[in-house]
Structure formats: C-alpha cells, structure tokens
C-alpha cells in the first residue's frame, strides 16, 4: 500500500456508492442498476475483495463485516453442491440453457482466494470450506487445458500457507499507533493479513493470537500463531516480519 490518504478516501467513497446503489439483500451486488441474467458471482466477489482490502487499509471493522456478508451471499447463491461455483444465480424461472449456468474457471480461482483470506481474518471455517470446494473444481476442470490456469498456483499456495500476519495493538487515536499502522500498510506483502487492534473495540474477529496489552502502542509480526516480541518503530517491524517469514518457511 502507498499510504496515499487521498486514494484511500476515493476508494471508500466508491465502496459506499456501490453498497448504496448496487447492493442486494443478503450481501450480494448487481452488475448494473438492473441485471440481465444476473446477479453474477464476479460482481459480489469483486466487492468482497475490495472490502477486505479496505479493512486492511483502515482497520475499520465495518469493512470486514461487509466482506463477510459478501462471502455469505456467494456461498448461499452460487455454490453448486455438485462441484464449483456457478457464474450466475439460478431461479425456478430459468429454462433451457439458462437452467444450468456456466462455471467460469476464473471465478473458481477468485472465490478460492477470497474465501481463504476471509477465513483467515474471521476464523470462520465455513469460508475455508468454500475455498477448498472452488479450488477442487478448478483443479479438475483445468486438467485438459493446454496452458496453466491463471492464478491457480497462487490460490494453491495461499490455501496451503498462512498469510504474512501483522497486528498493531494500540488506540486508533494514538499518534504512535497511527504511525505503526502506516508502516505496516507499507510492508510489501502480496498475501497478507493486516489488523489493528484497539482494545476499546473488543476482541478481534479472529482472536487466534493472544497479544499483551502494553503501556504504549506496539506491532507484532506473526506466523503460524506465533508472534515476534513487540516492536515500536517501522524499521523494527520490517525486520520482525522478515524474521518471522523466514522462520515460517
């Protein structure tokens, strides 16, 4: 992340607009003001991914709640018990070729990656199960492809490993905590779980790691539910993440 506050404000305004103008009851999203043939998996998937990114960029739990709602909608509306994720939502009115929607391979990879990371953030194993469900179909359906399915190796890697996990512990109106969170946002991780725990907000959604409450803001680099000692500066955080990442490998 660039720590460009103007870009972040634009992103939040855009997300709020989509929620207001394209939202569907239950956490899903339309493709346009009126869908033709939808709703589509890709639209809700894109917004779920955006909500997770906004949670990582802000620490605002409302964005994680929206991401979870999108995940719930995807699981309820698009999961095919026979395997994989449908590209569109079916209804009793669908007939002929529309009665059996296609299953786009890109959707399978996207759902696998999103649901896996949502599981990491929330601790909800149901999201992880959907990630595996989508990934299993993608692997089987891509066997006959002449070229590797884009993103499939990334999805496989992510499902099998913990993300780079950084947590800031400190009040969100504390200047030092703000600076630590900015340093954490700037860390160049592709697959990342970034959280900001302000103890006044209650436990984190996935309290799988126990952090000490210190007399000043601190950052922790974690891997496989084991964390570094607390660090208090950006450079020390970078070094701690590097050490934990190497240890995890």
Res 190 pLDDT > 60: yes
Q: Mean pLDDT across the stretch 59-63?
A: 98
List domains and CATH numbers for the chain: 5-159 (1.50.10.20), 164-248 (3.40.30)
Q: Mean pLDDT across the stretch 5-14?
A: 97
Nearest partner of 69 among 128, 23, 130, 137, judged by Cα: 23
pLDDT recorded at residue 92: 46
pLDDT recorded at residue 95: 45
- Core vs surface per residue 17-36: b (16+ CB within 10 A) or e: ebeeebbbeebbbbbeeebe
Over its C-alpha atoms, the chain yields an Rg (Å, rounded) of 19
213 burial via Cβ count (<10 Å: 0-12, 13-18, 19+): exposed
Q: Which of 4-8, 65-69, 200-204, 209-213 has the lowest mean pLDDT?
A: 209-213
Which residues share a beta bridge with 23?
29
- pLDDT tens per residue, range 113-125: 999 999 999 999 9
- pLDDT tens per residue, range 29-56: 999 998 888 899 999 999 999 999 999 9
3-class secondary structure, 39? coil
């Amino acid at each position: 992340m660039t720590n460009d506050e103007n870009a972040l404000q634009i992103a939040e305004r855009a997300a709020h607009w989509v929620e207001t103008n394209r939202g569907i009851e239950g956490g899903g999203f339309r493709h346009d003001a009126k869908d033709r043939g939808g709703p589509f998996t890709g639209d809700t998937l894109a917004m779920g991914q955006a909500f997770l990114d906004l949670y990582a960029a802000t620490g605002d739990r409302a964005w994680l709640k929206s991401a979870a709602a999108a995940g719930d909608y995807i699981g309820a509306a698009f999961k095919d018990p026979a395997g994989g994720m449908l590209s569109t939502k079916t209804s009793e009115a669908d007939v002929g070729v529309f009665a059996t929607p296609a299953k786009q391979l890109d959707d399978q990879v996207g759902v696998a990656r999103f649901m896996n990371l949502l599981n990491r953030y929330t601790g909800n194993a149901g999201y992880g199960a959907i990630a595996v469900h989508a990934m299993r179909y993608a692997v089987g359906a891509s066997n006959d492809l002449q070229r590797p399915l884009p993103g499939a190796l990334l999805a496989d890697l992510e499902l099998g490993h913990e993300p780079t996990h950084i947590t800031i512990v400190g009040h969100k109106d504390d200047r030092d905590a703000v600076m630590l969170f900015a340093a954490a946002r700037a860390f160049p991780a592709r697959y990342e779980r970034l959280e900001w725990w302000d103890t006044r907000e209650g436990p984190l959604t996935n309290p799988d790691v126990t952090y000490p409450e210190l007399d000043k803001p601190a950052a922790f680099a974690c891997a496989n539910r084991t964390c570094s000692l607390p660090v208090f500066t950006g450079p020390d955080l970078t070094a701690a993440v590097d050490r934990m990442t190497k240890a995890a490998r």
